Amino acid sequence: MAENKKEQGALSELFRVFFSKHWPVWVGGITLGLLNIILFAVKSPWGASGAFNSWGENTFRLIGINAFEGTAPSTTNLYAMLGLFTILGAMAGALFSKEFALRIPPVGELVKGFIGGGLMALGATLGIGCTIGAFFSGVPALSGGAIIFTIGLFIGVIIALKYLLWEMENVPKFSTGKSFTLLAVSSEKGKWQVILGWIVTIATFVLAYLTAGTNGVLAWFILSGLVMGLICQRSRFCIVKAFRDPFMTGESDGSVGVIVGLFVTLIGFTAIKYFGISAEETTLRAREMTWVFGHTWLRAILGGFIFGLGMTVAGGCAVGTLWRVGEGQVKLWMSALGFLLISPLSKKYIVPAIVDNLPTSMKFKSYLPDYIGYAGAFIVVVILLLLWYMFVKWNERTGKFSAY
């Protein structure tokens, strides 16, 4: 009996280690990087905007819009399921830590959430990816276009941040007003949240087990989504934070977490591509070109710029939107709604009108090892990450480029 109590105490202590306080962002970066490598080894790297597009196409199909008839169900789409279970994983993390609550901000913030989501949809469909697919996975995939997309993100974030600062000073009433919080609990109460967290987690494992018999890859993506959502929620991993905070408050934690995650992912992706891991001899080139999109250079910088505007206004990037939806932040529900409604329309009607008129020289695939070899490409990306790290740490000390 005493031994059983000791075991229960040890398990409770382990639970508290994970859920009594938030993790450092760099822990999230490392673990997400490792999971991203595993996803690539199994099938293909992490992406988030594809989930919103699939959900949007199926929404339009279900309400009878003929242009989207024949769309594959989201239940068969790897990234739609990865995104769904990222939400549920974040919900489980928030429930286990008793942080889940419906947080309803003022109307102005809800409007900004929807507009930000719509801009992210435009940016993702034009730039062929989001802050995950075109940046967090794209840069380690040694894509030249991903680096250009990143430049666009930086420019978009800086301009959007200037707008938000202007709004706070000149029209503060737009984002102020009544806000509401529902279902919040204290640390001493709310045991129902922990129980619900276990229900969500166990149900996901059961579904993955049942799916594994017919589609092992889909089962793996379901489980990966659950774990990734939980990690994001516990570590507050968000690429908006990484890009915005150095220019807003000067803090570098978010940037360092993303930089570490990129470095870990870079090592794994380079090994997979260089050695052709999980590739047949006839598909080696296709494996190398995974996550290298035809968006160099204009598509990438325009898409990144628009996406950077949107994610800063919304307060969450593609994956940041997903995990914040899971913990109950209603502004990001509006962001998700804007993203999923605009994405299919942009992909089908807006992007072709722009891209079809661009010359090939503005939208080609750029794979860095084709120009400077694998060693050169690896070194270039490492140097860029080091320069970013040195800048954010220097700026944290000096506040040279910080608004506050």
- 87-135: pLDDT as tens digits: 999 999 999 999 999 999 999 999 999 999 999 999 999 999 999 999 9
- For 252, counting Cβ atoms within 10 Å of its Cβ (0-12 exposed, 13-18 middle, 19+ buried), the class is buried
Provide the pLDDT for residue 140.
98
Question: What is the Cα–Cα distance from 312 to 123, expressed in whole angstroms?
Answer: 13
pLDDT digits (tens, 9 = 90+) for 355-404: 999 999 999 999 999 999 999 999 999 999 999 999 999 999 999 999 88
- The arithmetic mean of pLDDT across residues 225-247, rounded, is 97
Which of 313, 335, 304, 334 is closest to 164 using CA atoms? Answer: 313
- Reported confidence tier of residue 8, pLDDT bands at 50, 70, 90: low
Q: Examine residue 297 and say whether the peptide bond preceding it is cis (omega within 30 degrees of 0).
A: yes
Provide the pLDDT for residue 75.
97
- For 9, counting Cβ atoms within 10 Å of its Cβ (0-12 exposed, 13-18 middle, 19+ buried), the class is exposed
Q: What per-residue string of b and e applies to 368-396 under the rule 16 or more CB within 10 Å gives b?
A: bbeeeeeeebbebbeeebeebbeebeebb
- Other beta carbons within 10 angstroms of residue 69's beta carbon come to 10
Alpha helices, DSSP H only, in 43-143?
49-62, 78-96, 107-127
| 3 state DSSP class of 316 | coil
- The arithmetic mean of pLDDT across residues 227-254, rounded, is 97
Provide the pLDDT for residue 139.
98
pLDDT digits (tens, 9 = 90+) for 246-304: 999 999 999 999 999 999 999 999 999 999 998 876 689 999 999 999 999 999 999 99
Contact between 79 and 322 under an 8 Å Cβ cutoff? The reply is no
396: which residues sit within 8 A by CB, 6+ positions away? 246, 250, 251, 252
Provide the pLDDT for residue 23.
97
Provide the pLDDT for residue 118.
98
179: which residues sit within 8 A by CB, 6+ positions away? 103, 104, 105, 106
Provide the pLDDT for residue 190.
92
Question: What is the Cα–Cα distance from 177 to 107, expressed in whole angstroms?
Answer: 8
> What is the model's pTM?
0.96
Q: Is the pLDDT of residue 7 over 90?
A: no
Domain ranges of the chain: 25-398
Question: What is the Cα–Cα distance from 343 to 318, expressed in whole angstroms?
Answer: 12
pLDDT digits (tens, 9 = 90+) for 174-211: 989 999 999 999 988 899 999 999 999 999 999 999 99
Provide the pLDDT for residue 325.
98
Provide the pLDDT for residue 281.
65
Average pLDDT, whole number, for the chain? Answer: 95
State both tokens at 212. Answer: 């594994």
Contact between 83 and 225 under an 8 Å Cβ cutoff? The reply is yes
Give kind and range of the element (H or E) at residue 21: none
* Residue 207 half-sphere exposure toward CB, CA atoms < 13 A: 19
CA angle 339, 233, 15 (to 5 degrees): 155
- Other beta carbons within 10 angstroms of residue 155's beta carbon come to 15
User: What percent of the chain is predicted at pLDDT more than 70?
Assistant: 98
